[in-house]
Structure 1
Amino acid sequence: MLETVAAACILLAVLWAGCCVEVVRKLAKQLAPLRALYATFCRRCPYTAETLERFVEIWDMFVRCSDASLGFEDRFAIFCDQLGDFLEGLVQRAVDVLELFFQLDAAEQAAALCRIPRRRLSAAEARSGAGPLAVTSCAICLCDWRKGDDVRELKACSHVFHTKCCDNWLWRHQKCPMCRTPLATVPAS
């Protein structure tokens, strides 16, 4: 019951936001100052502007669907699916920001990253797969392994990645970029 109420509240908020988008769009066609203000906003807040534009794309696909074979129910189902993915992405970005805010200091981050072993792949591993899972490519860049690739094998989950691909993520998150398994427990201060 609570999930239904929450979903209904989210849907009403989205519909309200969609109506606001339509009003702003109609005004923007008439008012040059509003267009200039929006252009300034896009330059100064590119992340927020990109997020807003993605929402507008999802809203447009729902309201102005050009496929006549799709009924309202089908369009609404597609809209809800895309909106769910969009909101999930926003929540993940918010979680990433919170993780950055509460992360270890730089020296501890560097030490934690150094504890994850690096190695070069042999020709046999490049052909048959790296690590206990016999992974045949890096899940981040999707490139197949080559002899001599510099990789990190995460002991907690056995996933293997190119060092250059995973280091930025590991620096910020201290968990596997693929399965989110924590690399190590953080000591209490």
Structure 2
Amino acid sequence: MLETVFAASILLLVLWAGCFVEVVRKVGKQLSPLRALYSSFRARCPYTAETLERFVEIWDMFMHCSDASLGFEDRFAIFCDQLGDFLEGLVQRAVDVLELFFQLDVADQQAALCRIPRRRLSSAEAAEGAGPLRMTACAICLCEWTKGDDVRELKVCSHVFHSRCADTWLWRHQKCPMCRTAIAT
């Protein structure tokens, strides 16, 4: 019973937010000051603007579906599925922020990250694969190596990642993002 009430409350809030988005969009087409305000907001708060734009995208797919073969129930099921993924991503980001905020051993984490060597890939490594495992791409961003990429090679498991991709994960977890082997000796 409680789950039903909770689900209905979330649905009403989402529908309210969707209606609000529609009103703001229609008013925004008419008012250039509102567009300027949004541009300023987007420049100052890119994460929030990106989140809002993703919600608007999901709402648009639900309200203005171009596939005539989909009935309301099908569109609504797709909307709920996409909204669930969207909300799960928001919750995960909030948890990540809270983890960073309440970390206690910042000095230990910094020291552990500094013990993992950073280096630049040579053209041979970029072509043949990096590290002892001859990895041909970063397992986090899935981009293939290029000459001069800044990478970290984890000695305990020999996995190699772009520094920009792995540093946030390694700072928080001190484990390999791929095999979860602890990096601290």
Give TM-score scaled by structure 1 length.
0.72
1:160 maps to 159
Q: CA deviation at 1:79?
A: 0.5
Q: Contact 2:153–2:161 (CA<8 Å) still a contact in 1? A: yes
Give the 5 Å matches for 1:98-137: 98-113=98-113, 130=133
CA displacement at 1:31 relative to structure 2: 2.0
**What amino acid maps onto 2:161 in structure 1?**
H
Aligned twin of 1:11: 11
Check conservation: 1:138, 1:161, Cα contact below 8 A: yes
State the Cα distance separating 1:44 from its structure 2 match. 1.3
Corresponding residue number in structure 2 for 1:151: 153
Gaps of 5+ in 1: none
Give the secondary-structure state (helix, strand or coil) at the position aligned to 2:154: strand
In structure 2, the residue matched to 1:29 is: 29
Please tell me whether the aligned partners of residues 170 and 176 of structure 1 are also in contact (alpha carbons under 8 angstroms): yes
2:122 corresponds to: none
SS of residue paired to 1:80: helix
Aligned length: 172
SS for the counterpart of 2:153 is: strand
How far did residue 16 of structure 1 move? Answer: 0.5
Retained in 2: the 8 A contact 1:62–1:75? yes
Q: What is the deviation of 1:42?
A: 1.1
| TM-score normalised by L of structure 2 | 0.73
Matched, 1:44 2:44: yes
Taking only aligned residues, the RMSD between alpha carbons, in angstroms, comes to 3.5
Helix, strand or coil at the partner of 1:162: strand
Structure 2 unaligned blocks of 5 or more:
119-124, 146-150
- Could you tell me how far apart the structure 2 residues matched to 1:58 and 1:162 are? 32
